[in-house]
Amino acid sequence: MNRFSALGLIFLISSLFGCTQAAQDVHETRFLLGTLVEFTIHTKDEKTALKAISKAAQVMQQVEDTFTTYGDVDNTVKQFNQADVAQAVRLAPEVDKLLLQSISVHQQSHAAFDPTLGVLNKLWGFSGEHLSKKPPTGAQIQQALAQSGVQNIQKTEQGWVKKVQGLALDFGAIAKGYAIDQGIQVFKQYGFTQAIINAGGDMRILGQHGDKPWRIAIRHPRQSQALGWVQVEHDTSIVTSGDYERFYIYQGQRYHHILNPDTGKPAKRSQSVTVIAPTATLADAWSTALFVLGSEQGLKVLKKQKGLSVLWVNADASLSQTHDFQMRDLAHKTE
């Protein structure tokens, strides 16, 4: 199934979940957030659904413009990144809110999640137009780490300030989830209760698909077929972070885009991590943090967290999961 090569998570709509005569899937695909975003609303009202999808895409584009560190669009993230030490920058309300949430995940995850890795991320070059083919030197990595760290930013009455020159914010591990949440909020405002937004495998789901739960396949990080699938319904999110999304092989070793804030190098304890959470914002951030932590440390951290169901494909390809993560084999039949 070729689609498994493109998406970490794919929702499977088959004859098992056929539409009723009264309702249908209204579906559109847009390129946003650096990926293909699929909007699906299950409804009788196609005209209003198309309006909701158009508005959701517009809102998600606005989120991208607010948080991006690339391109020509100006925003307060870029203004902060370009500011000097102790120069206060008043971040946009959305940015301020998401930075505070990022810092909260940083603290709860024992620093496995870090929104201040802008210099390090650009050094590795996984987010640019041209993928790097050779890792940076140890000296370059250490210099980039010296220009990062949540302890080196501070919120004051005048705005946010940095304590080291060159430090740069990067919301790449949480902003996509936040954008999905904002898109779903638009669907709710239009009154839709059965829908899904899939941004390159990061999803938030509303209700059911017709009269049955949505069926979500989970990609195998090394094989073409899926690992299995889960049933989701009501209002929930599911996000996978994997070392197969952006990577290259250099001298026989895989280098990927999920960086360990402690070492400054690609994290080594996981091949992929799938998180089910109440919001895509949380699922996005925690999938990154738990990828870095690995299952042994991650399961300990999760004892203090509520509402997160997690599946790891460990570095050795074995599986670990929380007790409430229920994955079924692809051959399993539903009633």
pLDDT of residue 330: 60
Exposed e or buried b for every residue in 173-200, given b needs 16+ CB within 10 A?
Answer: bbbbbbbbbbbbebbeebebebbbbbbb
78 Cβ contact partners less than 8 Å away, ≥ 6 residues apart: 69
DSSP secondary structure, 111-144, as one string: TS--TTBHHHHHHHTSSSSS--SSPPPHHHHHHH
Contact 174, 101 (CB under 8 A): yes
Tens of each residue's pLDDT in the chain, 335 residues? 333 334 455 455 433 344 445 899 999 999 999 899 999 999 999 999 999 999 999 999 999 999 999 999 999 999 999 999 999 999 999 999 999 999 999 999 999 999 999 999 999 998 776 777 899 999 999 999 999 999 999 999 999 999 999 999 999 999 999 999 999 999 999 999 999 999 998 999 999 999 999 999 999 999 988 999 999 989 999 999 999 989 999 999 999 999 999 999 999 999 999 999 999 999 999 999 999 999 999 999 999 999 999 999 999 999 999 999 999 886 544 44
Both tokens of 201, joined, read 């495998």
User: Is residue 28 classed as helix, strand or coil in its secondary structure?
Assistant: strand
Contact 325, 309 (CB under 8 A): yes
Both tokens of 44, joined, read 């009788």
Q: Which of 26, 8, 21, 18 is nearest to 190 (CA)?
A: 26
Instruction: Count CA atoms closer than 13 A to 136's CA, side-chain side.
Output: 24
DSSP 33: T
CA–CA distances in Å: residue 163 to residues 69, 78, 91, 149, 160: 20, 17, 16, 10, 10
Q: What is the CATH number of domain 1-15+23-335?
A: 3.10.520.10
pLDDT of residue 13: 44
Distance, CA of 185 to CA of 193 (rounded, Å): 11
pLDDT of residue 201: 86
pLDDT of residue 225: 87
95 Cβ contact partners less than 8 Å away, ≥ 6 residues apart: 66, 67, 75, 76, 77, 171
Distance, CA of 240 to CA of 272 (rounded, Å): 7
pLDDT of residue 59: 98
Q: Where do the DSSP E strands lie in 12-152?
A: 24-32, 35-43
Residues paired with residue 195 on neighbouring β-strands, in sequence order: 41, 206
User: Is residue 183 classed as helix, strand or coil in its secondary structure?
Assistant: helix
